[in-house]
């Protein structure tokens, strides 16, 4: 009889149970949360308010028994939206939602979507240290009147990173407020934290009431993620910041003079779209200048993506929106948050590392990384037995992954155990090994992670190693009867070369929703970032970790996104008149594509040069971004005209057009004609089409009188000609247009990459180029 090994039962149940719960809820009469977008201008005059009209619409579709009872019509609406989006979130069953979708005045209905979080040296690495009194980011431009809204898990207000000493009074235009609850009172807001709100109605509609004893039903952060991202955006300088002695120095946010407004949308069970949408809507009404959103869901069509629609409304109101690209790399086309009006941020490394070593019984020393600091230590003079619970086969083995309940204490006790990355969190593998009696762990990368090393604050002595070295160590453990090793921890190392490197986990293009919009937009530091932390959770985030720290080191595009949000705040402080598109253009066209060894940026997953599908326009360069020379500007109508090229129906376009009653001008012959700072030429699968022309317009924000010459990199598959090759500007804010003519010489099976640069002697205005030839259908 076929038997399933006991160790696989945990693995199978882990995957099966959540799936089963989702399937069991798929009943047409089960109430779910739907986001209902309304045509605000269609409200009949006899309704005194929009909410009254929205409520009437919802009531009109309720199942008959409920109307007669008339008991819970009020409960059905959990949010109303009024600023970046118009409509309500309501609890409906499938039939009611279908009826409501047909009603007059209803633009669209979206089912609730679950989003996930995309989880000190960076200011110096980016050239933002304030010690340089000649810095363009001097205190005079510290951005005291710029407010960044952070959508996340809340904030730990006692952190020194949110000290408001020396800050000016809160701007009078600010309309936000501090909501109170367990662990969070009015006095927790100050001149740094100027607002704090919570959004949980959508979450509770799906999961049931939040247990106020287990979770703060207030802006207080017990997860740590929100505190970390908020401090990265705009944390005040804190001298002597460190994590258990690692990364010692001054921790400060990108815009230490900017204000923070906290919008808590993520809870223990995730983040839900109705809550996120309400937070965006509220933040824009409150008066934020920048929105920092380090979370994402899957990719869906523009008109079905509620976050994309809310971000469009925010952009219309002049708010810059930056979002994390996701941590699903290095898989191609793994991006989230790809709308062109969102700045999509990937992750890269810095020139700081936390070296650790594993010395094998053979005498060979393997380099790795770790943030371990604890009472348990391994003697470097002694060797410890080494064990690997996997086999030679490449098939998945729960024991090799050190999943819960898979390690036999009789086999691993007193030994260093080798665990492979995957399925469970990295630090949890160490906890499993520790519980089984292991004295240490070597965490080995697999092909999915390559040679990228991410340091963690482990609960037992542990060293993370790359895939190649991991294979070597596993082979040694399997083939040697008396395999041994010891582990050593080397502290903090600076000046790492090469850096930056694109993180292996950073989600990649191409942007399959629209190939002509090159994504991600940019990369920023997202590996081993030190920032403020919650006082409620240990640095490993495991409930068994009783250590408490003021700062923690995290990695993810969640960490790179607030770097860009903070730098956008600095640019807004220096140039209050700049639109979100202008700020994005300045960030993208000044980004760099070479590391500190003067070679092209590398991809950590392959140790080969990265491409614009990995790094977008390049690595953020805030010093250059404040004076970009030329910018590619875009107005809300331009983005709408782009949507008109996306084969959307008039009803689908209404989702974006209702705020300003927009209509298609048919001004773009091709989606690639959107005046975007990056350039993506897509040849159709019709091989007879050999010439493709794209158009761009640049605005002079530099010296009134300036002359720019163009330089374009060569391509194997096409010739690229720019007309005109010289742009002569005679005044500031003057606009001049040019066209790029792509002529196929030899169709390539893979995309080709290069760049276009406008130079005037003082500025280099660079746009990445991607050329893709779609494969003919046979």
Return the active site residues.
152, 225, 558
Q: What 3-state DSSP class applies to 22? A: helix
> 345, 344, 341: which is closest to 638 by C-alpha?
341
- CA–CA gap between residue 757 and residue 770 (Å, rounded): 14
Biggest CA–CA distance in the chain, Å, is 86
- CA–CA gap between residue 270 and residue 223 (Å, rounded): 11
Per the structure block, which two tokens stand in for 714?
Answer: 């060569």
Per the structure block, which two tokens stand in for 394?
Answer: 């490449």
What is the helix (H) or strand (E) element at residue 641, kind and residue range?
helix 636-643
> 720, 719, 663, 668: which is closest to 697 by C-alpha?
668
Contact 186, 178 (CB under 8 A): yes
DSSP state of 422: B
Contact 302, 339 (CB under 8 A): yes
Burial call 668-677: b when 16+ CB within 10 Å, e when fewer: beebbbbbbb
Q: Is 756 left (phi over 0), alpha (psi -120 to 50) or beta?
A: beta
> 676, 622, 304, 338: which is closest to 507 by C-alpha?
338
Instruction: Tally Cβ neighbours within 10 Å of residue 652.
Output: 18
DSSP string, 212-233: TTTS-SSSB-SSSHHHHHHHHH
- CA–CA gap between residue 675 and residue 701 (Å, rounded): 16
The alpha carbon torsion through 36, 39, 42, 48 (nearest 10 deg) reads 60
Distances, alpha carbon 237 to alpha carbons 163, 165, 574, in Å: 9, 11, 20
Q: Which residue has the tokens 């404040």?
A: 626
Q: Helix crossing, 306-316 with 636-643: angle to 10°? A: 150
- CA–CA gap between residue 676 and residue 625 (Å, rounded): 16
What is the helix (H) or strand (E) element at residue 416, kind and residue range?
strand 416-420
Contact 167, 192 (CB under 8 A): yes
Q: What 3-state DSSP class applies to 92? A: strand
> 168, 348, 148: which is closest to 234 by C-alpha?
148
Contact 769, 756 (CB under 8 A): yes
> Across the strands, what pairs with 565?
none
690 CB contacts (<8 Å, ≥6 apart)? 743, 744
Contact 560, 182 (CB under 8 A): no
- CA–CA gap between residue 729 and residue 98 (Å, rounded): 56
Per the structure block, which two tokens stand in for 459?
Answer: 């609960």
Distances, alpha carbon 463 to alpha carbons 337, 356, 744, in Å: 34, 6, 50
Q: Which residue has the tokens 């994402």?
A: 296
Q: What 3-state DSSP class applies to 14? A: helix
E strand residue ranges, 18-144: 32-38, 77-81, 87-92, 106-111, 114-117
């Amino acid at each position: 009889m076929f038997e399933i090994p006991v160790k696989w039962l945990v693995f199978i149940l882990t995957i099966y149970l959540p799936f089963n719960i989702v399937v069991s809820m798929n009943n047409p009469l089960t109430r779910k949360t739907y986001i209902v977008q309304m045509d605000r201008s269609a409200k009949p005059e006899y309704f005194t308010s929009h909410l009254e009209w929205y409520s009437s619409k919802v009531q009109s579709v309720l199942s008959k028994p409920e109307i007669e009872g008339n008991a819970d019509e009020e409960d059905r609406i959990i949010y109303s939206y009024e600023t970046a989006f118009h409509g309500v979130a309501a609890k409906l069953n499938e039939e009611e939602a279908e009826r409501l979708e047909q009603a007059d005045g209803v633009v669209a209905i979206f089912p609730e979507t679950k989003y996930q979080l995309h989880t000190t040296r960076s200011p110096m690495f980016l050239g933002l240290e304030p010690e340089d009194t000649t810095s363009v980011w001097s205190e005079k431009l510290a951005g005291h009147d710029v407010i960044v809204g952070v959508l996340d898990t809340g904030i730990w207000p006692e952190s020194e990173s949110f000290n408001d000493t020396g800050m000016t009074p809160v701007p009078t235009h600010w309309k936000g407020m501090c909501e109170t609850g367990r662990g969070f009172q009015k006095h927790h807001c100050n001149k740094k934290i100027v607002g704090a709100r919570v959004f949980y109605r959508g979450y509770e509609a799906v999961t049931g009431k939040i247990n106020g004893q287990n979770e703060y039903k207030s802006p207080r952060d017990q997860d740590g993620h929100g505190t970390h991202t908020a401090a990265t955006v705009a944390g005040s300088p804190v001298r002597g910041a460190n994590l258990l002695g690692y990364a010692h120095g001054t921790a400060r946010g990108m815009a230490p003079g900017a204000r923070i407004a906290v919008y808590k949308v993520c809870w223990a069970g995730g983040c839900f779209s109705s809550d996120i949408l309400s937070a965006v809507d509220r933040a824009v009404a409150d008066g934020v200048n920048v929105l920092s959103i380090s979370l994402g869901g899957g990719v869906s069509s523009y008109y079905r993506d509620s976050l994309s629609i809310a971000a469009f409304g925010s952009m219309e109101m002049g708010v810059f929106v930056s979002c994390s690209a996701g941590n699903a790399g290095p898989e191609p086309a793994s991006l989230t948050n790809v709308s062109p009006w969102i700045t999509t941020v990937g992750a890269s490394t810095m020139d700081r590392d936390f070296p650790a070593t594993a010395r094998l019984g053979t005498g060979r020393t393997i380099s790795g990384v770790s943030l371990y600091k604890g009472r348990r230590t391994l003697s470097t003079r002694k060797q410890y037995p080494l064990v690997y619970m996997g086999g030679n086969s490449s098939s998945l083995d729960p024991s090799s992954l050190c999943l819960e309940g898979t390690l036999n204490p009789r086999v691993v006790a007193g030994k260093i155990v080798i665990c492979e990355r995957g399925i469970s969190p990295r630090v949890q593998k160490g906890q499993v090994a520790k519980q089984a009696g292991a004295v240490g762990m070597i965490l080995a990368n697999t092909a999915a992670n390559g040679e990228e090393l991410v340091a963690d604050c482990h609960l037992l002595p542990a060293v993370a190693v790359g895939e190649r070295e991991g294979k070597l160590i596993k082979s040694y453990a399997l083939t040697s009867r008396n395999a041994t090793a010891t582990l050593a921890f080397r502290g903090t190392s600076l000046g790492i070369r090469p850096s930056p490197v694109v993180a292996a986990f950073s989600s990649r293009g191409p942007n399959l929703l629209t190939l002509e919009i090159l994504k991600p937009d940019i990369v920023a530091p997202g590996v081993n970032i030190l920032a403020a932390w919650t006082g409620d959770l240990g640095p490993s985030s495991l409930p068994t970790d009783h250590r408490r720290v003021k700062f923690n080191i995290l990695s993810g595009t969640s960490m790179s996104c607030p770097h860009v949000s903070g730098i956008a705040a600095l640019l807004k402080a220096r140039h209050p008149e700049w639109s979100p598109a202008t700020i994005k253009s300045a960030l993208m066209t000044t980004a760099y594509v070479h590391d500190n060894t003067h070679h092209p940026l590398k991809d950590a997953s392959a140790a080969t040069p990265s491409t614009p599908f990995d790094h977008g326009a390049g690595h953020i360069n805030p010093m250059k971004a404040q004076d970009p020379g030329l910018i590619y500007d875009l107005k809300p109508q331009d983005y709408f005209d782009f949507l008109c090229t996306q084969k959307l129906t008039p009803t689908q376009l209404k989702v974006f057009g209702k705020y300003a009653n927009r209509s298609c001008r048919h001004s773009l012959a091709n989606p690639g004609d959107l005046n975007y700072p990056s350039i993506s030429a897509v040849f159709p699968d019709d091989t007879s089409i050999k010439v493709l022309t794209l158009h761009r317009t640049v605005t002079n924000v530099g010296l009134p009188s300036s002359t720019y010459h163009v330089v374009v990199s060569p391509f194997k598959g096409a010739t690229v000609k720019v007309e005109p090759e010289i742009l002569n500007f005679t005044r500031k804010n003057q606009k001049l247009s040019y066209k790029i003519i792509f002529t196929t010489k030899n169709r390539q099976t893979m995309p080709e990459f290069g760049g276009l640069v406008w130079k005037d002697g003082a500025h280099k205005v660079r746009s990445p180029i991607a050329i893709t030839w779609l494969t003919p259908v046979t």
